[in-house]
Structure 1
Amino acid sequence: MSLWTALTRNRAHTRADHPDPRLQGRAYAVPFATVWTAALETATSQTRWTVTESDPRAGEIVAESRTLLWRFTDDVRIRVSLDADGNTRVDVESASRKGSADLGTNARRIARFLHALDRHLFGHQRTTR
């Protein structure tokens, strides 16, 4: 992440073609129900996160995350869906409620969540990033 981005953005999100490899989301060759359960359990276990909504039919998990230093509340949205290849896709958005710069906090939060989800699903083959 560039210094300019860290000083001018207060949100981060995944997408398949994101230039930052940490923010490319995930596609798993694992059934939706397995990934959904793992994503919900991973979100619930994240330090300083509170899951406020989860809807398996819509494939959305909504959470609030508090920053360590100033205890700001940020919003996290996790989407679990099937992609065109039949893989289960996980995308994440994290946005600060206050300020115009997050100093990379949202991107790091997403990367930590995806890494923890990968660990949770260890033993299941991840097909793409």
Structure 2
Amino acid sequence: MLSFSDKPRLRGGRWPNRLAWLALFVLLTAAILVVGSGSMYRMQWLSLGDSFSLLRRGAQLALGSAAVAALTLLVALICRRWRIMLASLLIAVAAMALVAMPMQMQQIGRSVPPIHDITTDTTNPPAFETLASARRAAPNSVNYPGESTARQQQRAYPQLGPLILDMPLAEALASAEATVRDQGWEIASVNDHRIEATASTRWFGFKDDVVIRLAETPQGVRVDVRSASRLGKSDLGTNAARIQTYLEALKVQAGR
């Protein structure tokens, strides 16, 4: 016989709650692997291959978390456990957001050419001088890859080209250097017509080298930029985006 102090038994018992906790545990584990893959490579705790393996496992676990959350959502709906239903929905959304990062990288990798050395002057690319020794110690060559890379770049990034600044060379150089500092790059050297710097990607901390060449022409000061990765066959479009962003920021800086 039930008394007034007895609590009604929840439909489904403890199973909806347990499923929700399982989905959350798998999600947190996946998040640690995905986020930690870049951090541990950046701190040199893992090789690049091991960190990418960690990233893949994290993405797989995130998919597993989404599947468990979807099952929990169904069970909670049948059992009318509204709080658990809301929690499972949030877990599923978070899991898919976590999967989106490596999936986006994979999609970008398929949509851009497998090149890593981008320049606004493919005929006479700016050469690395100060950073040449650092690039010789890296897997990718210090020399521009050549005609094949130039053709692939022109097909994929036809908008990239030099910038003409209508100002004296000294003022153009000052604007170019100020823009480099605004981008947060580490400057290696500056002279009267060239700047060399290194940019680091946020997640994995990959080192990409940049050389900016300024030359006086009858139309004004021509600014050419080359950005090249030290590691990897494909840059996933990072160097082209970096050059485009830099030139747009330089336009604004020079116009002040």
TM-score by length of 2: 0.42
Instruction: Point out where structure 1 has 5 or more consecutive residues left out of the alignment.
Output: 124-129
Pick the aligned partner of 1:51 from 176, 182, 187: 187
Structure 1 residues 50-98: Cα deviation after superposition (integer angstroms, max 9, x where no partner) = 0111111xx1100000011210111000001112x25100000000000
The reply to whether residue 73 of structure 1 matches residue 210 of structure 2 is no
Q: CA deviation at 1:7?
A: 3.8
Instruction: Point out where structure 2 has 5 or more consecutive residues left out of the alignment.
Output: 1-107, 124-153
Match of 1:20 in 2: 158
Matched residue count: 117
- Aligned AA (2:254): L
How far apart, CA to CA, are the structure 1 residues paired with 2:199 and 2:109?
23
Pick the aligned partner of 2:250 from 107, 117, 127: 117
Q: Which has the larger radius of gyration?
A: 2
Match of 2:224 in 1: 91
| Structure with greater helix percent | 2
Match of 1:126 in 2: none
How far apart, CA to CA, are the structure 1 residues paired with 2:220 and 2:109?
34
How far apart, CA to CA, are the structure 1 residues paired with 2:220 and 2:110?
35
Q: CA deviation at 1:8?
A: 1.1
Instruction: Kindly report structure 1 stretches of 4+ aligned residues shifted beyond 6 Å.
Output: 2-5
The reply to whether residue 101 of structure 1 matches residue 237 of structure 2 is no
Contact 1:65 1:73 in 2 (8 A): yes
The reply to whether residue 63 of structure 1 matches residue 197 of structure 2 is yes
How far apart, CA to CA, are the structure 2 residues paired with 1:42 and 1:27?
15
Identity of aligned residues (%): 32
**Is 7-16 or 103-112 further displaced after alignment?**
7-16
RMSD: 2.2
TM-score by length of 1: 0.81
